Amino acid sequence: MTEDIVRDYIIDMQTMHIKFEGHRYKKDEHMTVGLAASTINTRLKTLRVMFKYLVESGLHGDNPMVNVKNVKETLPQISILNAEELRALFSQPDQRAFADFRDYTLMHLLLDAMLRVSEATKLEKRDVDFRAGILTVRAEIAKNRKERIIPLSKKTLKLMRELIEENEEDFDSPFVFLSYYGERLQSNHFRKRLQEFGEAAGIDKRIYPHLMRHTGATIFLENGGDLRHLQKLLGHSDLRTIIRYTHLSDASLVRQHAQYTALNNVLSPQQKPRKTIRK
């Protein structure tokens, strides 16, 4: 195996390989020529790991991957929801129904805390500190397996408290988001219901749980939020190089979140915190 063979392999993946060729569930228009840059880079990463092991074990001479760089990836344009679309979406669940109120609460949480839906549906009651107004994403449920602390808005905390009390009347479960039968809510089930809410709201965009995370993060920055604080809230490892020289206190994080959370774009002025007493 040589470096030239690896480069020929990259060219083959870019110009010859047919996506989903022979896949029984994919339409012909999806079977285009050339793999995505991200797919090619994932394969190159695997080769790097394999040849590093082979060379260190004495099973191969030179490492052909040393000078092979990743293919340049073009980041896709992320579509987000504007304030009007958010209001329309949030108005769809019937809060008198258990499942709709649960989904309404989860929608607030996803937008406010910018969680991944898999993290949100695995939350347990012990993860929410109502007195401190924070949420703990435990390492075992976080995608990057690192624990993080997220402040929550008063509106989200109020909804979650109501939901937990509602659950405890009929179910004995440690989880916050439950199905009709008291089992943990599955991400795919919520994903389908959120899509239905989007269709009912007449939103001409693909509605999916991660869109709430994208929307929350984008509005956070547009409202003046700090990128370093956003990195802590998202638990996004790709932004480590930006904040590696900065130490942020939890108190500062709480202040930043309260000021720049995307939920402020949804709440009416009467629902927002107000000042009534002078210092």
Find all residues with CB under 8 Å of 32, minimum gap 6, and list them: 18, 19
Asked if 274 is an active-site residue, the reply is no
CA distance linking residue 94 with residue 207, whole number of Å: 18
Of the residues 155, 213, 229, 232, only one is catalytic, namely 213
State the catalytic residue, choosing from 19, 48, 210, 214: 210
What is the spatial distance between Cα 219 and Cα 73, in angstroms, rounded to a whole number? 25
Q: Which of 240, 245, 274, 279 is catalytic?
A: 245
Computed from CA positions of residues 22, 26, 28, 31, in that sequence, does the dihedral angle turn out positive or negative? negative
236 is catalytic: yes
Q: Which residues contact 18 (CB under 8 A, 6 or more apart)?
A: 31, 32, 33
Is residue 205 annotated as a catalytic residue, yes or no? no
Helix axes 187-200, 209-222, angle to 10 degrees: 70
Does 45 qualify as catalytic in the annotation? no
Strand partners, 170: none
214 has catalytic annotation: no
Q: Which of 45, 143, 205, 272 is catalytic?
A: 143
Active-site residue, selected from the candidate residues 102, 116, 148, 228: 116
Residue that has been written with the tokens 């649960």 in this structure:
102
State how beta strands 148-151 and 128-129 pair: unpaired
For residue 116, indicate whether it is catalytic. yes
The CA distances from residue 95 to 175, 194, 199, 231, in Å, are 20, 14, 18, 33
Active site amino acids:
116, 143, 210, 213, 236, 245
